């Protein structure tokens, strides 16, 4: 998320937390969703347009499945932070925690092959041993 949108996002979150009126809180939540959907994220050669669900790298289109796009969007939303497999299963797949599956690893593998220069030595979506993954790209905030 761009620095401008991050600031706007924080301000709206603080406003929502202090807003006593339920209808106004819902309006703020809708506005927060608009910020995420509207954003065009750029990380070095990677460009992700959330609103149109389009991804390009070095100006060339990258074709992702709907699930791969949701996975990438979640990584972008958490750029620079460790993301556990359980979190991904809950947020991207809608599974309950504790599910024992290699689903996440397989889909990250496919995503790496589409986005990384060398999927065997990833620099964009890196493995965090014992935790899960971290999205790291030029312009991503450091955790």
User: Which backbone phi and psi does 141 adopt, to 5 degrees?
Assistant: -65, 145
pLDDT 10s per residue in the chain (143 long)? 555 566 776 777 778 788 888 888 888 777 777 666 667 888 888 889 887 889 999 999 999 999 999 999 999 888 888 999 989 998 898 887 666 678 899 999 999 999 998 999 998 999 999 999 999 865 444 44
Question: Sign of the C-alpha dihedral, residues 23, 29, 32, 33?
Answer: negative
114 to 16, 92, 107: CA distances (angstroms): 38, 18, 11
Q: Which CATH architecture has domain 39-143?
A: Orthogonal Bundle (1.10)
52 CB-near residues (< 8 Å, 6+ apart): none
Is pTM beyond 0.75? Reply is no
DSSP designation for 121: S
Domain extents for the chain?
1-38, 39-143
């Amino acid at each position: 998320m761009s620095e401008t949108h991050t600031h706007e996002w924080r301000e709206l979150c603080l406003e929502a937390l202090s807003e006593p009126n339920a209808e106004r809180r819902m309006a703020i939540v809708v506005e927060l969703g608009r910020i995420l959907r509207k954003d065009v994220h750029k990380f070095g050669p990677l460009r992700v347009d959330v609103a149109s669900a389009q991804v390009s790298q070095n100006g060339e289109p990258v074709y992702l499945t709907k699930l791969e796009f949701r996975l990438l969007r979640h990584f972008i939303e958490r750029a620079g932070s460790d993301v556990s497999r359980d979190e991904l299963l809950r947020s991207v797949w809608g599974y309950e925690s504790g599910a024992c599956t290699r689903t996440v690893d397989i889909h990250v593998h496919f995503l790496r092959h589409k986005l990384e220069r060398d999927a065997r030595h990833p620099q964009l979506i890196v493995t965090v041993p014992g935790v899960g993954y971290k999205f790291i790209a030029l312009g991503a905030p450091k955790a």
